[in-house]
A = this chain, B = another copy of it.
């Protein structure tokens, strides 16, 4: 068993906001992260795949293939976008790092066929990251 990880970066806006709650409640929970016009990050995404090495190639998964999957199903849809408004697969989700990690996992899990998706990690800043392993 071997683990292979690919890092990608995307620049996006989001606003932490639960539409079922009042503005005041949102501000109480999310503080400046609920600023009405949104704010943004250079989000760093790390996708880890686990599996067996292919004897012929010495690869678990070709990193170009992994990169292309991540770009097609995630980066092209979220980069330079507002995560509350512009992304079909995030509709109805409060875009916390926790919820993003799960949503990205769901986007990727059936697309990776050389090895299995093992972990999705999202850095919102250099001081915070969130990881989901499908557990």
Contacts and interface: CB of A to CB of B under 8 A. Distances in A.
Nearest to A86: B37
A66 to B, nearest CB: 9
Interface in A88-110: 93-99, 101-102
Interface in A37-61: 37-42, 53, 56-60
A24 interface: no
Tell me the number of copies of this protein.
6
Interface string A9-22: 10111101010010
Nearest to A7: B127
Given A35-B81, A40-B12, A58 B94 contact: yes
Given A11-B41, A14-B40, A41-B41, 10 more contacts: A5-B128, A7-B126, A7-B127, A13-B82, A21-B56, A29-B57, A38-B82, A40-B42, A57-B94, A59-B96
Interface of A: 1-9, 11-14, 16, 18, 21, 29-33, 35, 37-42, 53, 56-60, 62-64, 79-82, 85-86, 93-99, 101-102, 124-133, 135
